[in-house]
Amino acid sequence: MPTNKLKDQQIKSLKPLPKAYKVFDGGGLFLYVTPTGGKFWRVAYRLHGKPQTIAFGPYPEISLAAAREKLAALKTTLRSGDSPMAERHSKRKTPTFADACAAYWSGRNDVSDGYKTNASRALTMHLYPSLGNIPIGAISRNDLLACLQRMNAAGKYEYVRKVRMWAGQVWDWAIENGHATENPAASIRPEKAFGKNPVESFAALSLREVPDFLERLALERDLNSVLACRMLALTWVRTGELRTMTWDDIDDNTWVIPAAKMKRRREHIVPLSRQAQAILAEMQLRSAGNYVFPAPHRLDRPMSENAILYLIARIGFKGRMTGHGWRTIASTWANERGYAPDAIERQLAHTPDNKVRAAYNKAEYLPLRREMMQAWADWLIPS
């Protein structure tokens, strides 16, 4: 096998990827590059026919030349028939899982005390009873999985994923410090091993049911909640975004929602149809505060998060419709009429799957979206 294939400049240029990967120098020596950008020297070798891995330490603390020197020394040890791990273990006792957790988390000064406390408590409660006193290098994947599956069986679907992640970080530390050769947590695939919480769906009417809903809504007095429900329909936003809408966010025929108010923390532009602007004109006559849809008796607070839901229940559509349901209805309407999927998804403030497309200018498709939103408003509330 060719050796000395790596160059320092090449190593420096290695970039992190979503998953860890290996770059080989030859002779079993390789760099293990983590998703966070860490680069660690490791060697894959066989002892008595069994595959083994040993860690030399991080780059650049361990230079390329030093790693190769360590590889040469390792090969000398192997030729003599000795185990390279035996010398390490003779110098220091392998820590138990509990010892390793304590050592690792005490050294995590890059996270808050609260985060460390939560992680340590979770490992103590769910893994220590079975694994705490076992040397960390002796714990198998099945040992760890058995503990995690008990959490999964109790319905702790999200929590078990966090515990696996926190335990995996401890094993990474143990490997780099020579206390273990494999990370059993890394080989457990959460999407396959654990269950998932049921996805909450938001009730939404079919397109043919919308006229009946609007006809019933028209029988209500022009309460703020009624106007808010109509505005929700006309803009395709989420209820929380509408509730916190302020006059400062309105720029003529455009509503610019600050990133801090958005679910995905990105500024969102909403074209306002003539019908939406008419509702704003009506609300300007009613609202003396900064919120467009304030609480009934507190102008300094936004409308209740349940105001629209209570309205929908009161007019007889409980369980069949929600405020969020307007997004489903509008998306169905736009797709059936052949509008560009990218424009529809951008109007719904969904993040594109393609990273290049996600980097487009924030106003991309705005002319088409403005045309689409006016057509939707004319279908929904003919002027």
What amino acid is encoded at 40 in this protein? F
Annotated active-site residue in 324, 346, 369, 370: 324
Annotated active-site residue in 12, 298, 360, 362: 360
What amino acid is encoded at 130 in this protein? S
- Say if residues 352 and 345 touch (Cβ distance below 8 Å): yes
- Say if residues 249 and 231 touch (Cβ distance below 8 Å): no
Tokens of 80: 């003599």
> Which sign, positive or negative, has the C-alpha torsion 257, 261, 267, 268?
negative
263 is catalytic: yes
Annotated active-site residue in 5, 263, 274, 301: 263
350 is catalytic: yes
- Say if residues 42 and 62 touch (Cβ distance below 8 Å): no
The contacts of residue 156 (CB under 8 Å, 6+ apart) are: none
What is the enclosing helix (H) or strand (E) of 44? strand 39-47
Annotated active-site residue in 164, 327, 346, 369: 327
Alpha helices (H) in the chain, listed in sequence order: 8-12, 64-79, 84-91, 97-106, 113-126, 128-131, 141-153, 157-176, 190-193, 210-218, 224-235, 239-243, 274-286, 307-314, 325-336, 341-347, 355-358, 366-380
Neighbouring CB atoms inside 10 A of 363's CB total: 11
> What is the C-alpha to C-alpha distance for residues 147 and 126, in angstroms, rounded to an integer?
7
CA 312 to mean position of chain CA atoms: 32
Annotated active-site residue in 238, 243, 268, 369: 238
360 is catalytic: yes
126 is catalytic: no
Q: What residues are labeled active site? A: 238, 263, 324, 327, 350, 360
